[in-house]
Each structure stands twice: as C-alpha cells, then as structure tokens.
Amino acid sequence: MKPAVVYSNVWEDPELNRLSLKVQPGQNVLSITSGGCNSLCLLLEDPGRLVSIDLNPAQLAMLEFKRAAIIELEYDEFIDVIGVPFLFKPEKSPEYRIELYNRIKKHMPAYATEFWDENQHHIKNGMMMCGKVEKFFKIYRTLLGFLYGKDELMSLFKAENLESQREIYASFRKKRWNALHRLLLNRAVLSLVKGAHSFAQVDFEDFAGNLNKKRTLGMTRFFNPDNYFMCLLMLGGHYHENGMSPYLLRENYPKLKKNIDRLEIFMGTIGDVLKKDGPGSYDRFNLSNIFEWMTNDVFNGIIREVIELARPGSRMAWRYTFARPRELDAQNLSRLAYEPELSDELFRQDMAFIYESFHVYHLK
Ligand SMILES: C[S@@+](CC[C@H](N)C(=O)[O-])C[C@H]1O[C@@H](n2cnc3c(N)ncnc32)[C@H](O)[C@@H]1O
C-alpha cells in the first residue's frame, strides 16, 4: 500500500511542549513528527539538534516539504505553498502553488519529491488540509453545516469575549450536534479512520459522550477566534493571522529560517534512534500520543529506550486522546519522576481540547 498522510496538521497544542520540556539553547531534542508542526515549533526554542522521527514516510514527506519551503521561500510564499487556510482571505491559485513547489523541490530528498510529484493534487488543494484526519474533519464540518447553516455556527465565533461566547454556547441548540457525534464519532467509524488498533486501550464505549464533554470544555475555556484548533476543526481555516501555530507566525519566521539547518528528519522508531546516535544523546523528548494503543509491556520497553537515550536532567512529555494512561514498571519508576502539578496545569490550558491527559516527567 502506498504511504498516505494521516495528519497534515498536528492537533496537539505546541505550547504544552514548550512549557513542559523547557528546552535550553543548544540541547538535543527528539520529537515525533506527525504533520511536522510541533517539531518546527520546538525549533523556535534554539535546540542544538531537533531530530524529528516518524514511521510513516508520508508524514516525513510533509515535514520535508515544509523544511524545503522554509529554506527557499519568503514568509508569504511559505504560507501560500503549504496552503495555510484563512477564513477571510482569498486562496492562492493551484498553479501558483505548483510554481512554488518547483522552486523548493531541490531541497528535498528523492523519496519526498517522488511522494509530492505523485500527489500534486494535495499541493494544489492546499497540503495543510490533505491528511485523512483533516478530510474526516471536513466531512464533519459539512454535516454540521447542513444541520445548522453557516450563520448559526458562526455565532459561536462572533462573541465579543469569552464570557459572551459561553452564554451563546449555553443556549446553542445542541441536540442535532450530539446526534451527529453519535453517528460519526463512535468506535466503528473512528476505527475506520484511524485503525481499530488505535482504540485497543480505551476503557469506555461512549466516544460521542466523551467528545461532547470535551467540546463543551473547548467552547467554554478558550476564545474561539484565537483557538486555531477550534477554527480549523469547525470552520476549516484560521480566523486571523495571530491565531495560528507559532511556527506559522510572521514574527517567528526569521528564527525558523535561521534554525532550519538544525532539523534532522529520520524514518524509524526511538529504538532506531538509539542504534544510530547511541546512549546519552538527547535532552528533551516530545512523544506525542504514540503510547495510545500500546500494552504496558511495549510502553515500558520504549520508555527504557528513552531513558537510555536521555542525558542527565532530561525532560519528556506525552499525552493520550482517549486511552487510560499506561503505568511505568518498577524499573522505569526508579529512573523517572512525574511532575503532577505541571502536568495538570498544562492539561487545563490545552487549546487542542480533545485530549484525555497530559504527562510530564524528568530523569531522576
Ligand atoms: C501518534 S500519532 C498522533 C498524532 C497527533 N495526535 C496529532 O494530532 O497529530 C503521530 C505520529 O506518530 C507516528 N508514530 C506512532 N508510533 C510511533 C513510533 N513508535 N515511533 C515513531 N513514530 C511513531 C505516527 O506514524 C504518526 O504520524
């Protein structure tokens, strides 16, 4: 089967990585790639090396594309070639995006140009929304649009402040929305999108109920126009230029360009990185939610590899979308210290409101 992009965006708040990992200038960071966004955000912290890994070559091709664009292009061209969607700005033409792609190709390895040559339609349509997850969200948005109409949905984004947004949400007609969640967000449909293995460690069946609660959380904790996760999910674009992932912000582009040669893109697991770089070669670890579907034994095996890779003072963070947290065994517990207060505090400020928990540890 040909590799396909599952996530063209990272649906994880990069602020949680920044505030938990506390990267010091010059440190080596290992980061799970997904859509590449959060690896690029960590590059803004001035690491010595930022090694971004993934098992799926299509995800790595996403990051290769963004890396090549950052090397070659000016800020506005970068935003145009990756197809950053805005709600109130006209889109660039597909031909213009291909023209820019032809300029950046020379900075990509062969596997990435082969992938993008074969998938030029993704570039033409805006590759930032080309993942399977993003396509699923598009279906979700379309159905919501049928159920409510644009104006009613937009009312949730037009409040003057968070207080009045809470009031609008409280009186919003939610019955249809909840019914849509029952239809679309159940184990069977989600397994089709993400693979049944993804939910092997989930204790509950009521996915729709779980996501209804998280939706309420998202709608009542964060001001929607500033929450780019909510805007992308429900409206399909950014509300304004300041409400975007930090790596997309104009003011951060010079630093991104300056640090881009510190980014290494690597296909493989944490165990492969250990074989390649040897013990004691990293200080910080962004582990995304890679443990979501794993058994305790597999989880503890990977944590042992992380510990072997870690230098004194190392920090690491991971999260779960639906699954119960895995438990560290005695050996790993003797090496890692949990930071419960910071974990809880950061979890409460997670603008990507769909997660179940966030976990911060450091090497003892
Ligand atoms: C765990 S998924 C989660 C995505 C994320 N929640 C998001 O919103 O983007 C992120 C990426 O991790 C990769 N991945 C999963 N397990 C991995 C592992 N053991 N080593 C390296 N990459 C892994 C997947 O291929 C996927 O692209």
- Give per-residue pLDDT as tens, 286-301: 999 999 999 999 999 9
Q: What is the DSSP string of 242-267?
A: TSS-GGG-GGGHHHHHHHGGGEEEEE
d(CA 53, ligand 1 centre) in Å: 9
d(CA 297, ligand 1 centre) in Å: 18
Least confident range from 103-112, 193-202, 282-291: namely: 193-202
d(CA 32, ligand 1 centre) in Å: 6
56 lines ligand 1 (CB under 6 A): yes
pLDDT at position 187 over 90: no
Identity (one letter) of the amino acid at 265?
I
Residue that wins the pLDDT comparison between 195 and 113: 113
List the residue whose alpha carbon is closest to atom 11 of ligand 1: 34
32 lines ligand 1 (CB under 6 A): yes
Write down the domain spans for the chain.
135-234
pLDDT at 200: 85
Query: Atom of ligand 1 at shortest distance to CA of 11?
Result: 8
Among 53, 133, 290, which residue has the most ligand 1 atoms within 8 Å of its CB, making it the best to mutate? Answer: 290
- Give per-residue pLDDT as tens, 321-355: 999 999 999 999 999 999 999 999 999 999 999 99
Strands (E), the chain: 28-32, 49-54, 263-267, 282-286, 310-320, 336-338, 357-363
User: pTM for the whole thing?
Assistant: 0.96
- Give per-residue pLDDT as tens, 106-139: 999 999 999 999 999 999 999 999 999 999 999 9
269 lines ligand 1 (CB under 6 A): yes
52 lines ligand 1 (CB under 6 A): no
CA distance 33 to 212: 28
pLDDT at position 263 over 90: yes
198 lines ligand 1 (CB under 6 A): no
List the residue whose alpha carbon is closest to atom 9 of ligand 1: 10
d(CA 40, ligand 1 centre) in Å: 15
pLDDT at position 194 over 90: no
pLDDT at 253: 98
11 lines ligand 1 (CB under 6 A): yes
pLDDT at 186: 87
With H, G, I as helix, E, B as strand and everything else as coil, classify residue 53. strand
List the residue whose alpha carbon is closest to atom 17 of ligand 1: 290
- Give per-residue pLDDT as tens, 139-182: 999 999 999 999 999 999 999 999 999 999 999 999 999 999 99
pLDDT at 185: 87
Q: Supply the mean pLDDT for the chain.
A: 96
DSSP conformation class of 86: B
List the residue whose alpha carbon is closest to atom 20 of ligand 1: 269
pLDDT at 198: 83
CA distance 285 to 352: 19
Q: Are strands 357-363 and 310-320 parallel, antiparallel or unpaired?
A: antiparallel
pLDDT at 195: 81
d(CA 230, ligand 1 centre) in Å: 21
d(CA 7, ligand 1 centre) in Å: 9
CA distance 165 to 74: 37
d(CA 4, ligand 1 centre) in Å: 13
Q: Which helix (H) or strand (E) segment is 41 a member of? A: helix 37-43
Dihedral sign for Cα 137, 173, 12, 237, please: positive
Query: Atom of ligand 1 at shortest distance to CA of 270?
Result: 20
Which of the four pLDDT bands, split at 50, 70 and 90, describes residue 13? very high
Among 16, 17, 39, 54, which residue has the most ligand 1 atoms within 8 Å of its CB, making it the best to mutate? Answer: 54
Q: Give me the long-range contacts of 310-314 (CB less than 8 A, separation at least 24).
A: 310/280, 310/282, 310/283, 310/285, 310/363, 311/28, 311/280, 311/281, 311/282, 311/283, 311/363, 312/363, 313/283, 313/362, 313/363, 314/282, 314/283, 314/284, 314/285, 314/362, 314/363
d(CA 10, ligand 1 centre) in Å: 10
291 lines ligand 1 (CB under 6 A): no
The mean pLDDT of 207-215, rounded to a whole number, is 94
pLDDT at 193: 78
354 lines ligand 1 (CB under 6 A): no
Q: What are phi and psi of 362, to 5 degrees?
A: -135, 160
59 lines ligand 1 (CB under 6 A): yes
Identify any residues that bridge with 54 across adjacent strands, giving them in sequence order. Answer: 267
